[in-house]
Structure 1
Amino acid sequence: MQLLALAMYHRDGGTAPRVLRFRPGALNIITGESETGKSEVLDIVDYCLGRRTPNLPDEPIDQTVGWYALLVVFGDGSRMVLARPRPVGASTLHAMVQTGDSRLDVPAIGELVPNSNVAALRSEVSARLGIEDFRFQPPAGAGRNAFDVSIAHAALLCFQNQNEIADKKALFHRQTETGMTQTLKDTLPYFLGAAGPEQALRRHHLTEAARAQRAAQRKYDDALRHQAATEANGLALVRLAQNEGLLTDVPAAPNTTQVVDLLQQALAASPRTAAPLNLSDRRQGLNDERRTLRDQLQEYDEALAAVDRWQQQGRAFTGELHLQLDRLKTLALLGPEHQHDTSICPMCTQPLPQPDPSAQDIAELTGHLAEELAHAQTLQPVREEHRRTLRAERDGVAERLRLNGVQLRELMASDERMRNLQEQNLRIAHVQGRIAEALTRTGSDSDISRLRHNLALAEEQTAALQVLADEDDVAAETERCLAAIATDMTAWAKRLDLGQAADATEVSISLNLLNVVVRRPAGRLPLTRIGSAKNWIGYHLVAHLALHTYLRRNDRPVPGFLMLDQPTQAFFPERPRDASKIQDADWATVTAYFTLLNEVAQLNEGSLQIIVSDHANLPDSWFQDAVIANWRPDEDGNRNALIPPGWLG
């Protein structure tokens, strides 16, 4: 798979897309001044290939672009458009995928409609690349999950951004991210051809067989351990069962067989039970009766109190009547005065505003009071009788309440006896539970023989699969592949006159370090111990060029392109405006680097596409032929960049 074009679409959809065309199977150079978008090309391609967490700059690209589209071609000539909308937030999962023949080109803005997602995009590109359905199985106990190898892992071999190409500690794209180092170590043997689905399947079967063997070993060991524990603890359980009354006539020193028989007898024995009594219902009935009796007793007390108040009020009323009646009886002593005119004051003989009661009126009132007093005195015996009745009934309720208390206390005593019996039965149940567990965990001789046979079968199967896995020897095959890559790396490192390369017997990639290692007669030297950014970049170049040359020679399922960002940064100031105008740069080394890139592209005869973003702009004809974009001001001073000036408003 190689790149044919990269298209960006304005967010308003009203302008033509910005299209950058690539040449397949050749060196492609994007040159220009700083801050023209050269480095962003790599990030956009990485995003279009399905990266979930894009690293696109905020301005001006993210502020103007609404869609990104990548046109790619495969070895059979078929094409595919991989388009993704501008990410919203940290990521987006939407995508658009189109497939077609040689007539397929970048889509028009109106054709950009999400019809897929990142997972489907990766799956389809992986299938087109020829990545097999390879699920990597980590070794047993590795503490990481299995995963499906896809274009997401292959793409890690195809990019070197500005910071990565000059990193002395890491060789591959995104290697410094969490978990990515192990992912590269796990997948690189597959992409080199040292491991595949067959080896992974055998390792998976070996892992499962080893797990089954460990399970069989545990069961066998448990059976032996439990049998020994039962023999050691069986007699103690027998004595405990005897103490609880489950066993009688226990021999003083029973043998193993007798112990097992006695334990089974104790397990079959029934605990002592009391006669079934519905004590709960009885207790509830007594409590209910007690509440009722207390309520009745309170009612009688209240009724007696009311009768007492009635009697007190009656005595007070009759006393008052006697007092008033005695006073009124004095009127009977009057003589002719009782005929006195009541409208005239007897003292001053003046007329009264209101006439006084006559003696006759007072006599009538006296008679009426005498009748009421006689009636009130007839009620007193009735009240006394009612009070005696209430008192008798109240005493009866109090007696019943006393008897209820006696019955509750007797029931509590019965509960205590039942509780003691239940506690004993609980102890018996606990003992029987321990006996049942011991008997369950005790394997017979036939059980142990069966477990021993199962363990032997599991060991045989694991050993047979181990032999097959050892024959694969993925590690040795990976080293063989890396040794083949080291041949080109060594030659090209010497050609570029990189540090320590002159005396090197071999320059190679270490799978363990995931970095370049220089082997000399004096010893092994990793890239971290070689100084200068020039050497770090140079070793990155030869490592990735040799790696991709090997991948193309062996038709491995890795995209046939390599994108490099700023491979000559070590020879210019930190942020050169225009490297072509710098006089004191090491132009000889710059030329040597680009010459090697061009020759390696030609060496692979169209199967490898190299895309370089850089400040350099060499005058050599072969270099100018490779330039696909020169983002420097034109003769009229108009700015050229990845984002058209008209998009910036």
Structure 2
Amino acid sequence: MQLLALALYHRDGTKPPRVLRFRPGALNILTGESETGKSEVLSIVDYCLGRRDPNLPDDLIDQTVNWYALLVTFADHSRMVLARPRPTGASTHHAFTRTGDDSLDIPQAHELVNNSNVAALRSDLSARLGIEDFHFQPPAGAGRKPFDVSIAQAALLCFQNQNEIADQTALFHRQTEPGMAQALKDTLPYFLGSAGPEQALRRHRLGAAQRTQRAAQRKLDDALRQQQTMDANGLALVRLAENEGLLPAVPAAPDTAQVIDLMHQALAAAPQTATPLNLRDRRQVLNDERRLLRKQLQDFDEALAAVDRWQQQGRAFTGELHLQLDRLKTLELLGPEREHDTSICPMCTQPLEDPDPSAQDLSELTGHLAQELAQAQTLQPVRDEHRRALQAERDAVTERLRLNGAQLRELLANDERMRNLQEQNLRVAHIQGRIAEALTRTGTDSDIARLRNDLALAQEHVATLEQLVDEDDVTAETERRLADIAVGMTAWAKHLQLGGAADATEVGISLKLLNVVLRRPAGRLPLTRIGSAKNHIGYHLVAHLALHTYLRRNNRPVPGFLMLDQPTQAFFPEKPRDASTVQDADWATVTAYFQLLNDVVQLNRGALQIIVCDHANLAEDWFQDAVIGNWRPDSDGNRNALIPPDWLD
């Protein structure tokens, strides 16, 4: 895959898109002054290839651009448009894709819609690149998540921004970001061709087989340990079962076989049971009866109290009648006084306003009282009989109440017995559960033989897979391929006369360090111990040129382009306005760097595309032939940059 064009679309859609064309299979140089947007080209291409978290500057580009589109071509001459909308936040998942033949070109602004997403874009692009359906499974215990190998990892080999190309501590794009270094170590062997889905699958199966082997070993160890501790623990459980009545007399010192047999007997023994009674209903009936009897007893007590009151009142009444009759009987002693006129006062002979009763009236009253007294005395035996009847009925109720209380107490005793029986059954169930667990964990001789056989099968499976993985020997194969890459690196480093290269027997890439390492008779020398930004950039150049040359020669599924930003920054002031005006730079070395880029492109015969954004503008014909954009003011002073001047009006 190589790049054909990059397009930026204006925010309001009224202006034509800004299109930057690239030449496939060639050196493409974008030169110009500072602050013209050269460095942003690399970030935009990276974003269009599916980067979820864009690294786009929040300046004129963000203020004026609505969509970014990238036109790419593949080895079969098919084309694909990869477009992403301007992110409205920290990231976006929206995308636009379109595929076609070699006539496909940059779409019009009105054609751009969200018809895809980043995941689909990466999947389609990975498939077209030839990246296999490869789910990378980290080694067991690595502590990181598995992932699908895709364009996301392949693109890390295709970019070098101006901070990365001069970094002496890291060799690859985004290597210093969290997790990226490990992702490069995991996937670089695949992209080099030393590992693939088959090796990853075998390693994954080996990890699973090793886990199965460890599990089988643990089960066997546990069974042997449980068998060794069965004598003490099993005998203790048998004694507990004996105490709860689950076993008859247990021998004083049973052997292991007897203990296991007794445990099975205790497990099969049934706990004591009681006939379930509906005690709650019976208790309710007795309580209802007790309330009724208490009410009846209260009624009888009140009736007896009323009879007693009547008798007391009767005795008081008859006593009073006897007293009055005794007084009135004195009237029988009167003589002629009986005929006295009671209307005249016997003392003053004056008429009385209220005449006194006559002796005759008093005699009649006496007879009436004597009659009432006789009648009252006839009622007393009736009252006594009624009281005796009430007392007898009360005694019967009292006896029934006593029987009711006895029955309630018996129910309470039954409740206590049931609770005790339930508690005993709970203890029995607990003991039987412990016995069942112990028997489950304790393997018989046949169980242990089976576990030994399982372990032997697991060990045999692991040994077979280890042999297959050893035959793969991904690490050794990766080192061999990196050694092939080191041949070109060494030659080009010596050609550029980089620091330390003259004494080095080999200049290569260390997979462990993800950096350039020089091998010398005196020992290894990593890039971190080599000074000068000129050397840092030079070693980055030779490493990536040799890597991509190897990838192209072996037809590996990595995009066939390399984007470099400011590879000559070490030869100019920190922020040159225009490097072409700097007189005291080491132009011979700058020319040598670009000449190497051009030579490597020619060496790959159209299979490699190199895109360079730089301040330098050499006068050599081959350099000018490679220039795809010169972003310097024209003869009329008009500014030329990534964002057209009329977009800023």
Q: Give yes or no for TM over 0.5.
A: yes
1:115 CA drift (Å)? 1.9
1:588 CA drift (Å)? 1.9
Spell out the pairing of 1:123-522 with structure 2 (5 A cutoff). Answer: 123-282=123-282, 411-522=411-522
Name which of structure 1's ranges 420-429 and 233-242 shifts more when overlaid on structure 2.
420-429
Report the counterpart of residue 584 of structure 2 in structure 1: 584
Report the counterpart of residue 551 of structure 1 in structure 2: 551
1:64 CA drift (Å)? 1.1
2:231 and 2:255 in contact (8 A); partners too: no
The CA distance in 2 between the partners of 1:398 and 1:107, in whole Å, is 110
Q: Which amino acid letter does the alignment assign opposite residue 158 of structure 1?
A: C
Deviations 1:33-88 (A, max 9, x none): 11111011001101111111111111111111111111111111111111111112
The CA distance in 2 between the partners of 1:150 and 1:209, in whole Å, is 27
2:552 and 2:604 in contact (8 A); partners too: yes
Alpha carbons of 1:459 and 1:288: their partners in 2 closer, same or farther (altered >3 Å)? farther
Question: Is 1:571 aligned to residue 588 of structure 2?
Answer: no
The CA distance in 2 between the partners of 1:467 and 1:505, in whole Å, is 34
2:564 and 2:612 in contact (8 A); partners too: yes
The CA distance in 1 between the partners of 2:515 and 2:402, in whole Å, is 97
Report the counterpart of residue 324 of structure 1 in structure 2: none
1:212 CA drift (Å)? 2.4
Larger radius of gyration: 2
The CA distance in 2 between the partners of 1:593 and 1:490, in whole Å, is 15
Spell out the pairing of 1:39-118 with structure 2 (5 A cutoff). Answer: 39-118=39-118
Q: Which amino acid letter does the alignment assign opposite residue 171 of structure 2?
A: L
Alpha carbons of 1:291 and 1:454: their partners in 2 closer, same or farther (altered >3 Å)? farther
Q: Which amino acid letter does the alignment assign opposite residue 642 of structure 1?
A: L
Q: Which amino acid letter does the alignment assign opposite residue 54 of structure 1?
A: P
The CA distance in 2 between the partners of 1:288 and 1:165, in whole Å, is 99
Paired residues in the alignment total 562
Q: Secondary structure at the match of 2:629?
A: strand
1:411 CA drift (Å)? 4.5
1:219 CA drift (Å)? 2.6
Q: Secondary structure at the match of 1:519?
A: strand
Report the counterpart of residue 319 of structure 1 in structure 2: none
Name which of structure 1's ranges 18-27 and 275-284 shifts more when overlaid on structure 2.
275-284
The CA distance in 1 between the partners of 2:598 and 2:123, in whole Å, is 32
Alpha carbons of 1:27 and 1:414: their partners in 2 closer, same or farther (altered >3 Å)? same
Which runs of no fewer than 5 residues in structure 1 stay unpaired?
305-387
Question: Is 1:8 aligned to residue 19 of structure 2?
Answer: no
1:406 CA drift (Å)? 7.5
Report the counterpart of residue 612 of structure 2 in structure 1: 612
Name which of structure 1's ranges 35-44 and 93-102 shifts more when overlaid on structure 2.
93-102
Name which of structure 1's ranges 144-153 and 449-458 shifts more when overlaid on structure 2.
449-458
TM-score (norm 1): 0.81
Alpha carbons of 1:575 and 1:243: their partners in 2 closer, same or farther (altered >3 Å)? same
Name which of structure 1's ranges 269-278 and 560-569 shifts more when overlaid on structure 2.
269-278
Q: Secondary structure at the match of 1:8?
A: strand
Alpha carbons of 1:8 and 1:253: their partners in 2 closer, same or farther (altered >3 Å)? same
Deviations 1:411-464 (A, max 9, x none): 545433332332222211111111111122222222222222222122112111
Alpha carbons of 1:588 and 1:426: their partners in 2 closer, same or farther (altered >3 Å)? same
Alpha carbons of 1:276 and 1:569: their partners in 2 closer, same or farther (altered >3 Å)? same
The CA distance in 1 between the partners of 2:414 and 2:31, in whole Å, is 103
Q: Secondary structure at the match of 2:191?
A: helix
Report the counterpart of residue 631 of structure 2 in structure 1: 631
1:401 CA drift (Å)? 9.6
The CA distance in 2 between the partners of 1:641 and 1:394, in whole Å, is 121
Report the counterpart of residue 356 of structure 2 in structure 1: none
CA RMSD of aligned residues (A): 2.9
Q: Secondary structure at the match of 2:232?
A: helix
2:30 and 2:614 in contact (8 A); partners too: yes
1:593 CA drift (Å)? 1.2
Q: Which amino acid letter does the alignment assign opposite residue 76 of structure 2?
A: D
Q: Secondary structure at the match of 1:152?
A: helix
1:284 CA drift (Å)? 5.7
2:84 and 2:95 in contact (8 A); partners too: yes
1:106 CA drift (Å)? 0.8
Report the counterpart of residue 599 of structure 1 in structure 2: 599
Alpha carbons of 1:615 and 1:260: their partners in 2 closer, same or farther (altered >3 Å)? same
1:191 CA drift (Å)? 0.5
TM-score (norm 2): 0.81
1:407 CA drift (Å)? 6.5
1:228 CA drift (Å)? 2.6
Alpha carbons of 1:564 and 1:431: their partners in 2 closer, same or farther (altered >3 Å)? same
The CA distance in 2 between the partners of 1:622 and 1:396, in whole Å, is 134
Alpha carbons of 1:247 and 1:635: their partners in 2 closer, same or farther (altered >3 Å)? same
Alpha carbons of 1:397 and 1:29: their partners in 2 closer, same or farther (altered >3 Å)? farther
Q: Secondary structure at the match of 2:28?
A: strand
Alpha carbons of 1:241 and 1:29: their partners in 2 closer, same or farther (altered >3 Å)? same
The CA distance in 2 between the partners of 1:18 and 1:505, in whole Å, is 48
Q: Which amino acid letter does the alignment assign opposite residue 165 of structure 1?
A: I
1:512 CA drift (Å)? 0.3
The CA distance in 1 between the partners of 2:160 and 2:291, in whole Å, is 90
